[in-house]
Amino acid sequence: MTSIAPPRLPEPAPAGAAPPTSAPVLRMRGVTRVHGGGATQVVALRGLDLVVYPGELVAVMGPSGSGKSTLLTLAGGLDVATSGEVFVDGTALGRLSTKALAALRRRSLGYVFQDLNLVPALTAAENVALPRELDGVATRKAYREAVAALTEVGVAELADRFPDQMSGGQQQRVAIARALVGPRRLVLADEPTGALDSATSGEVMRVLRARCDAGAAGLLVTHEARHAGWADRVVFLRDGMVVDSTGEPSTPESLLDGDGGSTAGGAER
Amino acid sequence: MSIRHGLLALLAERPMYGYQLRAEFETRTGSTWPLNVGQVYTTLQRLERDGLVEPADTAGTADDQTAVYQLTETGRAETEKWWSAPVTRHAPARDELAIKLALAVTLPGIDVQLVVQRQRTETMRAVQQYTRLSRQADESNDTAWLLVLDSLVFAAEAEIRWLDHVEARLARTARRPARTDAGPSGAPAPTAPSSPGRPGAATTEKSGR
């Protein structure tokens, strides 16, 4: 019987549109995080190295308890490393005052977490504008930026609705718009497609990807291979360490940079 | 997969000659499964022998120099049958990965976790590649190609999920004492059909230490 040859696929396209040329947006160096002490001590991360360059989307996968969420909260300055350092745009988060850290978080970081945390008394646009206003941006400008962000995630028509007038998927997109509003340099996402159906999930990944293609750095924690597939690089965590990676950081400099080169993983083998 | 039914399905639409069939087949499946024209003609000859296709009457048309085929009544019935029946899941083909892991857990000295992770990384690379190709495709014009890519993503995803499962199962096995006649009372019985406490259990020790 005549049979068909195995699938023929085009050669892999190069990862990322334009290779970034600047310094990493996120650099984690020898980061260890220990929770508790004594017999109940839990080591969430052990000496983790990771860099994310502008334009890169990096996905983190690993079994539960491998340290994925800890990694994300440390990268976002929501938690402090027991040892090692976290740099965002070259600034060591551990050396910032609480106030300076809060300002950097509002200005440079966007979070998409499973918990949406939209303010029920504010419209979608007001929710999205909130971090910009807190950062001193004039109300009108903040609103314009908010509408732009809502447009980016495809829900501009929801601008004047309140959270309880939206479906779960719509709320999720508004939360994502809030994470992307303004000139965020680093977007952190923890299972951002949690409550969404597969078509909407694809849209969310497309938005994240587009933001990274436009120059932001993205760090995505997920257990879904199909979402991690959008990343330039997938890093695998186990027991608080990087055990493997699907590639090297996608910049030419990283090859010359000792720190950057070792982050791709496999070093612990 | 047999290409017989693929060709029959195309001929049900209109009579065609070999090159046309090949081109139609490739366009409609996103060129993922290339056919050579020899395969097409061999198949057509067999289909004719089996009474499923016959040369079409092309006298007086522009096509009268080429062998144009059309479905016979039997061929049409066969095509209908193909559409109405599900694709059979045959006995699993020899799967190198499954065999490799089965051997890895039973042979001493193999770091199963490392084998699993290497594979997971490789399969993940494939998912990344399919995703890149999907992103480059045109949503409205490349539907066939996108469906094929989706199918490849689903398959790769299933493999990764299976690898996770392998790891979790081995971790459970490693935690149990070597001789498990009975679990703790009230605990659900372990579902692993494999005998617990084989030598491979020791290989689930963390490789990264």
DSSP secondary structure string, chain B?
-BSHHHHHHHHTTS-EEHHHHHHHHHHHTTT-S---HHHHHHHHHHHHHTTSEEE---TTSTTTTS-EEEE-HHHHHHHHHHHHSPPP-PSPPP-HHHHHHHHHHHSTT--HHHHHHHHHHHHHHHHHHHHHHHHHS-TTT-HHHHHHHHHHHHHHHHHHHHHHHHHHHHHHHHHS-SS-SS-STTSPPP---SPTT-GGGGGGS-TT-
What is the DSSP-derived secondary structure letter of residue A176? H
Contact A61 B207 (CB under 8 A): no
Contact B120 A245 (CB under 8 A): no
What is the rounded distance in angstroms from the CA atom of residue A85 to the CA atom of residue A92?
A: 7
Chain A residue closest to B167 (CA)? A63
What is the rounded distance in angstroms from the CA atom of residue A25 to the CA atom of residue B13?
A: 56
The count of other CB atoms within 10 Å of the CB of residue B1 is: 11
Q: Tell me the CATH architecture of domain B4-84.
A: Orthogonal Bundle (1.10)
Give domain status of residue A9, yes or no: no
Where does the pLDDT of residue B140 fall: very low under 50, low under 70, confident under 90, or very high at 90 and above? confident
Contact B131 A2 (CB under 8 A): no
Chain B residue closest to A12 (CA)? B129
pLDDT of residue B189: 45
Q: Which range of residues forms the domain containing residue A181?
A: 26-260
3-state secondary structure of A30: strand
What is the rounded distance in angstroms from the CA atom of residue B99 to the CA atom of residue B73?
A: 45
Contacts of A2 in chain B (CB under 8 A): 2-4, 39, 42-43, 46
Give domain status of residue A248, yes or no: yes
Measured CA distances, B156 to A58, A225, A259, A268, B122 (Å): 19, 8, 32, 26, 10
ipTM over 0.90: no
Give domain status of residue A268, yes or no: no
- Closest CA of chain A from B187, distance in Å: 22
Give domain status of residue A112, yes or no: yes
| Degrees to nearest 5, angle at CA A194 with A130 and A115 | 40
What is the rounded distance in angstroms from the CA atom of residue A114 to the CA atom of residue A220?
A: 12
Where does the pLDDT of residue B94 fall: very low under 50, low under 70, confident under 90, or very high at 90 and above? low
pLDDT of residue A261: 39
Q: Which residue has the higher pLDDT, A123 or B208?
A: A123
Residue pLDDT, tens place only, B40-57: 999 999 999 999 999 987
- Kindly list the domain boundaries of chain B, sorted by start residue: 4-84, 96-177+196-204
Give domain status of residue A6, yes or no: no
Give domain status of residue A92, yes or no: yes
Residue pLDDT, tens place only, A192-208: 877 677 777 888 888 88
CATH number at residue A41: 3.40.50.300
Element (H, E) at A238: strand A233-238
Q: Residue B67 is encoded by which pair of tokens?
A: 């062998």
Residue B81 has pLDDT above 50, yes or no: yes
Measured CB to CB, residues of chain B less than 8 Å from chain A are: 1-4, 31-35, 39, 42-43, 46, 114, 117-118, 120-121, 123-125, 127-133, 135-136, 148, 152-153, 156-157, 160-161, 164, 167-168, 206-208
For residue B30, give the amino acid letter.
G
Contact B135 A209 (CB under 8 A): yes
- Which of B31, B117, B123 faces A8 most closely, judged by CB atoms? B31
Cβ–Cβ < 8 Å for A17, A220 = no
Question: What is the rounded average pLDDT for all residues in chain A?
Answer: 84
Start-end of H helices in A76-117: 98-108
Element (H, E) at A207: helix A198-213
Q: Tell the burial category of A209 from Cβ atoms under 10 Å away from its Cβ (0-12, 13-18, 19+).
A: buried
Mean pLDDT of B12-26: 89
Q: Which residue has the higher pLDDT, B86 or B158?
A: B158
Residue pLDDT, tens place only, A4-41: 555 556 555 444 444 445 789 999 999 999 998 888 88
Give domain status of residue A212, yes or no: yes
Contacts of A235 in chain B (CB under 8 A): none
Contacts of A230 in chain B (CB under 8 A): 128, 131, 135
Give domain status of residue A21, yes or no: no
Q: Does A13 touch chain B (CB under 8 A)?
A: yes
Residue A213, Cα to own-chain centre: how many angstroms?
13
CA neighbours closer than 13 Å in the CB half-sphere of residue B93: 5
pLDDT of residue B65: 63
What total of structural domains would you count in chain A? 1
